[in-house]
Structure 1
Amino acid sequence: MVPSIEKLLEIARTYWPSQEDPNQEPSPEAHLLRALWNKKLEKPGPWDVLIEQLRNAFPENSVGNITTASDACFWCAIYPSHSREPPGLHWVYVGCASIIAPVYTVYRVQFEYGERRTFRQLDLEPPAVEPAVTMSRLMESTMDLSLLPPDIANHPAPVFVGWKSPPKTTLFHALFTSYPDNLP
């Protein structure tokens, strides 16, 4: 069950500062997020199981654990197989499991593949196509998380996340990442 907007805003304020620090010093909230990451990364858990399940479900694609501890989520991506796909526009499917709230999201990023990979489009609505459907099902069953609905994900959050600041910061940024299109 997805927590209320009020509860999610309370969680966001726990792990992200509500004021900008002109000295760029780590905030008390940043220290809390770092401590939570240290705990989450101590031992293998459901995230590692999920990555293996995705690799088994999509052996023809490249499944990557793209988690960075600067965000508030575990990240994974399903990339198109370069050996089978011709150059052109292709979607990369992304799953995020928040470490601060019991929610996840699935979205996709379109890139043009050629000599270089070029960003073209971001679609934050969970698409009802494969591999997004299987990714969502596995995130719910393996991680025991609930899908964060887009209307709640887009709710403004009065916190500073990365380079996002109010009023542009949303619960999506606070619970997952402020750079959804910045994939390795």
Structure 2
Amino acid sequence: MTPSAEELLAIARRYWREDKLYDFRLDHSPEFDRLEALWNEKLKEIDRWWALLGDLRKELPGYSIGDGTAPVNGCYGALVYPPREKALQRPQICWVVVGYLSILAPVYTVYCVRREFLGKQFRGAKAFLGPAPLELRDIAEVVAQRIEANYGATALPLEIAQTPVPLYVHFMEPPRTTLFHALFSSEPENVA
């Protein structure tokens, strides 16, 4: 069962602040210390996440599977890139399927990022948090099924993920900050 927006906000408040009091200070906030302590525990179990990535490699042959885990965020991350031969051609637009498993709450999300290139030069990226484009839905479904099977997490509905929260998550500030930013990443398009 998916936790409510109120329950998820209560969880997020343990790890993110409602002010900038600790910006540019040498000491850490209590929230930062809690997030760091949680990551120290979760990193002891990183082999379990890497096993999930290995399962994705078997289930999605030909695709490049990357680890998008960044301990500054609140989640583990799986990145599914197009098949190697297509990636080598550097198309103008390249899609990446992203699966994030929150370490803060038993929820996950799968979304897509459109990356644009001009030749070999990266031009920009845009995250699409809604349903995956038709040609990527099968891949997104495999990622979702694998996260559910390996971790028992539930998908965070988009309407809850987009709930505004009064928290500062890295450089994401209210009123733009959402539960997505607090539970997963403040930069969903950043999937290099």
Question: What SS class does the counterpart of residue 68 from structure 1 fall into?
Answer: coil
Counterpart residue number, 2:11: 11
- Give 1:81-160 correspondences, 5 Å limit: 81-85=83-87, 86=89, 87-113=91-117, 114-127=119-132, 129-160=137-168
Partners of 1:47 and 1:143 within 8 A in 2: no
Question: What SS class does the counterpart of residue 131 from structure 1 fall into?
Answer: helix
Q: Distance in 1 between matches of 2:155 and 2:71?
A: 21
Distance 1:28 1:22, change over 3 A: closer
Q: CA RMSD in A?
A: 1.6
| Identical residues among aligned pairs (%) | 40
Partners of 2:166 and 2:177 within 8 A in 1: yes
Partners of 1:159 and 1:169 within 8 A in 2: yes
Q: Distance in 2 between matches of 1:143 and 1:22?
A: 34
Would you say how many aligned residue pairs link Structure 1 and Structure 2?
184
Question: What SS class does the counterpart of residue 45 from structure 2 fall into?
Answer: coil
TM-score, structure 2 normalization: 0.89
Counterpart residue number, 1:80: 82
Counterpart residue number, 1:167: 175
Query: Given residue 61 of structure 2, which amino acid in structure 1 is its aligned partner?
Result: P
Question: What SS class does the counterpart of residue 35 from structure 1 fall into?
Answer: helix
Partners of 2:22 and 2:29 within 8 A in 1: no
More helix per residue: 2
Query: Given residue 56 of structure 1, which amino acid in structure 2 is its aligned partner?
Result: K
Q: Distance in 2 between matches of 1:9 and 1:29?
A: 14
Counterpart residue number, 1:71: 73
Q: Distance in 1 between matches of 2:121 and 2:61?
A: 24
Where do 5+ consecutive residues of structure 1 fail to align? none
Counterpart residue number, 1:53: 55
Question: What SS class does the counterpart of residue 169 from structure 1 fall into?
Answer: coil
Partners of 2:93 and 2:114 within 8 A in 1: yes
Query: Given residue 95 of structure 1, which amino acid in structure 2 is its aligned partner?
Result: G
Q: Distance in 2 between matches of 1:143 and 1:126?
A: 22
